[in-house]
Amino acid sequence: MNKKLLFLITLAVALVFTFSLNIEPAAARTRFISIGTGGTGGVYYPYGGGVAEIWTKHVKGVKAVAEVTGASVENTKLCDKGETLFGEIMSDVAFQAYNGTGKFKGKPQKIRGMFVMYPNVYHIVTRKESSVKTIADLKGKKVSVGAPGSGTEFMTNLILQGALGIPYDSFNVFRLSFNENANAMKDNSIDVGIWCVAPPTSSIMDLATTHAIRIIPFTKAEIDKVTAKYPFYAGYTLPANVYKGQDQPVYTASVWNTFICNADLDEDLVYKLTKAVFENQDYLIKIHHFAKYTTPENAVKYSVIPLHPGAIKYIKEQGITIPDRLIAK
């Protein structure tokens, strides 16, 4: 009887030990996270790298990396498919993607907001000796409208063709990344390069150190046309001397950026990731001063799509009311 009892006890201990071996590695397993950013010549990539470092350091069991991509449109599609569960996108892209309109007509994307990052500023850049002095002067010129799948190209299409009546077939279209823009302008391969980015950005700064540049301004009437048709855009005055040789303020367009995640992600994970970003904002500000805009208050004020429940949970803990428009139905 004692031998039989001893056998059963030994068997039970062995089963518990075996079971624990099977589950403990899973509980301790590191979760690898990829963040869709943009090209290396803009702000998305270093900002996303900063977020990745924060998550890796401050969220237990997470190892995150920033991935170079074609930016907003590509990041949205990757997030929707679950290929990268997080991404940085411009809010005009976010609005149409979530609602299944415009470029995403009939195909709403499975995304939610986590927080808004900072406003992007629209830069239409040419060499100083160029004959391009107004937006109307783009006609007949060699113009880079932004990299394929980028928020810059998305915004350029809406602003030039959609709001101002300057179709792509009225100029020679190039689709280059930010670094490619700068290099092509240096060797005169293009007349104009367009950036939508937080200023100052390294690629324009690099260009301005070797070539005198001009940033083409919008008129108030042009901005009024843009914002009347697309309310997610706004006017913005780029202060003088942001770039070498830019000695006058430039009135232009702007749009906020949204940090998105896949809608199906676990609430607790998104809560921890959102909390880590907001509580380590000072680290992001060291990377780019525009990260000063990455706050819970701005997430509620400027998000154009519903927030993920995990982000909502953290923001509510800060005593901030979440409007109904930011709660997915």
pLDDT at 24 over 60: no
Distance CA 79, CA 74 (A): 9
Query: Per-residue pLDDT averaged across 101-124, rounded?
Result: 97
| More confident site: 21 or 122 | 122
Distance CA 255, CA 145 (A): 16
pLDDT tens string 167-225: 999 999 999 999 999 999 999 999 999 999 999 999 999 999 999 999 999 999 999 99
Query: For the chain, which residues make up each domain, given as ranges?
Result: 27-118+258-326, 120-255
pLDDT tens string 193-206: 999 999 999 999 99
CATH of 27-118+258-326, one of 3.40.190.10, 3.30.499.10, 3.90.79.10, 3.30.360.10: 3.40.190.10
CATH of 120-255, one of 3.40.190.10, 1.20.120.420, 3.40.190.80, 3.40.50.720: 3.40.190.10
pLDDT band at 142 (very low <50, low <70, confident <90, very high): very high
Give me the residues paired with residue 256 across strands: 119
pLDDT at position 329 is 86
Q: Do domains 27-118+258-326 and 120-255 have the same CATH topology?
A: yes
pLDDT tens string 82-112: 999 999 999 999 999 999 999 999 999 999 9
pLDDT at position 82 is 95
Query: Per-residue pLDDT averaged across 23-42, rounded?
Result: 80
pLDDT at 306 over 70: yes
pLDDT at 69 over 70: yes
The owner of tokens 């232009």 is 252
pLDDT at position 4 is 55
pLDDT at position 28 is 57
pTM of the model: 0.85
pLDDT at position 278 is 98
pLDDT at 63 over 90: yes
